[in-house]
Amino acid sequence: MQTVKAAVVAAITIVALIVSLLPGLAEESGPLALTISIDGAIGPASASYVKDALAKAGERHAGIVILRLNTPGGLNSSMREIIADVLASPVPVIGYVAPSGAHAASAGTYILYATHIAAMAPGTNIGAATPVQIGGPIPGLPSGAPDKDGKDNKKDGDHPSEPKDAMTAKATNDAVAFIRSLAELRGRNADWAEKAVREAATLSANGALQAGVIELIARDPAELLSLVDGRTVEVAGGKTQRLATKGSVIEVIDPGWISRFLAVITDPNVAFILLMVGTYGLIFEFMSPGAVAPGVVGTICLLVGLYALNLLPINYAGLALMLVGIALLAIEAFNPTVVIGLGGVIAFILGAVMLFRVEAPGYRLSWSVIAIVTAMSTGFVVVVLGSIWRARSSPARVGAQAMRGLAAEVLDWNENEGHVFAHGERWQARSVEAFKPGEVVEVSNIVDLTLVVRRAPAAGSKGEK
């Protein structure tokens, strides 16, 4: 018994010793460098991913965060969320345009300017940060920029970067002030930053280094960490921090399930399809109460689609037109007409075209999706109209007209009246003839829920007719 107790005590002591040595082992292996990767268009999913990753870096006391960029741009609102999180991060963030062949265009340029240290891999480029690329369609072409024919549209007396209209000037000046403030905060080339906004200027990695837009060129993250070792940066709260990144352990942070879910549903095409599936699911549920499945699936899809639309910049006039079109199609299903159905299709198409008011890369509604959904809606109207035509051209199947010519079996008969069995029901009947129970007669008319019957013609006489 004493031997067992001694063994247990020894085991507990060993475990406690290992646990006490773990922090020391982690320190000996080197400081932690977390890597965040933004590939593709910047949107709500990207903003959620960066926010969660920076929070995790703070919790784990990481020495540095590498924000790897390869993006054509994205939504202005998501870009500003990411920049706000980077500026508020207690952990230094290195913006790194990589791998070779990658680019940080439009919104990516602003984010790179916001990072504590900006770096690029060989064979990458940065720039083209005009507001039209990140904030939705802005009318007008900057004076001095080439028109659609490739000719210079500059007029005498025009400033080469002066916008042609007030709306464009407002958006451009706001973007210029924003990126200049970031450049001044990080001590980078503010004049080129303004040129990137006003004239969509771009630079290669070597050009960006020479122009003072970035601090470093590195082939891979390991070389990047070696080059930034010993540099001093200012993090949130005005604190100065000296980087000790040489020999850091690099760990990649993958997006969480929420960010992946947002990446799927905030695709305008997916949001559009979810909205349509939800609407038609509810329409089918109302047409066939008790089916349950269309109602449940439709409600879930509709709510998820509306949530996605809430995260995206949409045109509410377009959304209203779509809802009017869907409502008209629903009315067409319950009260078939031609005008209401066609009006619903037209309103739906116009609303779909107007729905998303953004031209950022990766956030455009596909014309093929609009065409497919419109074709399905048109097919729905055609099916309804076809049902109307068949119902009007076919013989009546209800009421007195449906009863005429039906065979009926005599149940009982007394002189000129009795009861017959017809259409699965017991009916009161009368006739100028007398019949016997079990005899088959034919319904010639119905008067006040009483069948008028006659002797059924023989099979031979029917054939002669």
- How does residue 160 score in pLDDT terms, banded at 50, 70 and 90? very low
Q: Which of 336, 319, 349 is nearest to 380 (CA)?
A: 336
What is the distance between the alpha carbons of residues 280 and 271, in angstroms, rounded to a whole number? 14
pLDDT at 64 over 70: yes
Q: Say if residues 117 and 213 touch (Cβ distance below 8 Å).
A: no
- Average pLDDT value for the chain: 79
Q: What is the mean pLDDT of residues 421-428?
A: 84
Give CATH superfamily name and number for 29-138+163-259.
2-enoyl-CoA Hydratase; Chain A, domain 1 (3.90.226.10)
Q: What confidence score (pLDDT) does residue 51 get?
A: 93
Q: What confidence score (pLDDT) does residue 190 get?
A: 93
Residue 300, classed as helix, strand or coil, is helix
Residues of the chain with CATH 3.90.226.10: 29-138+163-259
Q: What is the mean pLDDT of residues 377-385?
A: 69
pLDDT at 212 over 90: yes
399-464: CATH architecture? Beta Barrel (2.40)
- How does residue 392 score in pLDDT terms, banded at 50, 70 and 90? low
pLDDT at 297 over 60: yes
Where is average pLDDT lowest: 125-129, 330-334, 338-342, 427-431? 330-334
**Pairwise pLDDT comparison (425 vs 188), residue with the higher score:** 188
Q: What is the mean pLDDT of residues 215-233?
A: 92
- The alpha-helical segments, DSSP class H, found in 38-165 are 44-59, 76-87, 107-114, 131-134
Q: What confidence score (pLDDT) does residue 147 get?
A: 42
- How does residue 435 score in pLDDT terms, banded at 50, 70 and 90? confident
Q: What confidence score (pLDDT) does residue 68 get?
A: 95
- How does residue 11 score in pLDDT terms, banded at 50, 70 and 90? low
Percent of the chain predicted with pLDDT > 90: 27
Please spell the DSSP secondary structure of 321-348, one letter per residue: HHHHHHHHHHHHHHS--SHHHHHHHHHH
Dihedral angle, C-alpha 277, 283, 287, 293, nearest 10 °: 40
Where is average pLDDT lowest: 24-33, 90-99, 401-410? 24-33
Q: What is the mean pLDDT of residues 403-426?
A: 84
Phi, psi (rounded to 5 degrees) for 370: -60, -45
Q: What confidence score (pLDDT) does residue 7 get?
A: 52
Q: Who contacts 292 (Cβ-Cβ below 8 Å, separation ≥6)?
A: 285
**Pairwise pLDDT comparison (10 vs 251), residue with the higher score:** 251
pLDDT at 394 over 70: no
Q: What is the mean pLDDT of residues 62-66?
A: 92
Q: Who contacts 203 (Cβ-Cβ below 8 Å, separation ≥6)?
A: 125, 126, 127, 192, 211, 213
Residues of the chain with CATH 2.40.50.140: 399-464
Q: Say if residues 224 and 66 touch (Cβ distance below 8 Å).
A: yes
The one-character DSSP state at 248 is: P
**Pairwise pLDDT comparison (393 vs 281), residue with the higher score:** 281
- How does residue 401 score in pLDDT terms, banded at 50, 70 and 90? low
What is the distance between the alpha carbons of residues 9 and 17, in angstroms, rounded to a whole number? 12
Q: Say if residues 248 and 32 touch (Cβ distance below 8 Å).
A: yes
Percent of the chain predicted with pLDDT > 70: 77
What is the distance between the alpha carbons of residues 155 and 162, in angstroms, rounded to a whole number? 11
Phi, psi (rounded to 5 degrees) for 216: -145, 155
* Consecutive H or E run containing 17: helix 2-29
Q: What is the mean pLDDT of residues 402-408?
A: 77
Measured from the Cβ of residue 271, the count of other Cβ atoms closer than 10 Å reads 25
**Pairwise pLDDT comparison (212 vs 456), residue with the higher score:** 212
Measured from the Cβ of residue 2, the count of other Cβ atoms closer than 10 Å reads 6
pLDDT at 140 over 50: no
